[in-house]
Homo-oligomer: A and B are copies of this chain.
Amino acid sequence: MPRSLASRRSAEGRIKRLAWLADSGSLNMVEITSEPIDIPALLAAAGSPRAGAVVLFLGTTREWTEGRRTAWLDYECYDAMALQVLSELEAEARERWQLENCEIVHRVGRVNIGEPSVAIAVSSAHRQSAFEAGQWLIDRLKVVAPIWKKENWSEGGGEWVHPGLNLS
């Protein structure tokens, strides 16, 4: 189905990218990166003369979670599977909604307070589709993508976040 497929690894071997041009000529891109997410580049890639709406979602690191102060987060992922899962989510979003472009970038490594750990940009002719697809993508990403975060607290120490797992 993909017309072209590219995967690259930076000099440090820490950036991985999987992109394809769908048959419609519009762009699908998923990326896992250890560098700050380039939001202007993402929005530029998401835009299209056929799009009347672009919705961007940023997941950012909160300083306070249930009364505990976070100093920073560490994200880890199973990279090959995470790229695969994110690509499948994009493909499914395109089946469910009429989208122009769709981009997902997730950071790994250390993410400071206020910085985005994930960015999803979706464009569509009419805004309802972009809003719905954006929300669906982040909802699904949080359930199925093999990515984990560790909260590192200001008071020292830290803990991997594994919802439902009994870590005694």
Q: How many copies of this chain does one complex carry?
A: 2
Specify the chain B residue showing the minimal Cβ separation from A59.
B53
CB of A125 within 8 A of chain B? yes
Total number of A residues with any Cβ neighbor in B under 8 Å: 32
Chain B residues with CB under 8 A of A50: 62-64
Contact status B52-A59, CB under 8 Å: yes
Stretch among A5-13, A20-28, A83-91, A130-138 lining the B interface: A130-138
Contact status A55-B52, CB under 8 Å: no
| Interface residues, chain A, with chain B CB atoms under 8 Å away | 39-40, 43, 47-64, 113-114, 116, 123, 125, 127, 130-131, 134-135, 138
Chain B residues with CB under 8 A of A57: 53-56, 127, 130-131
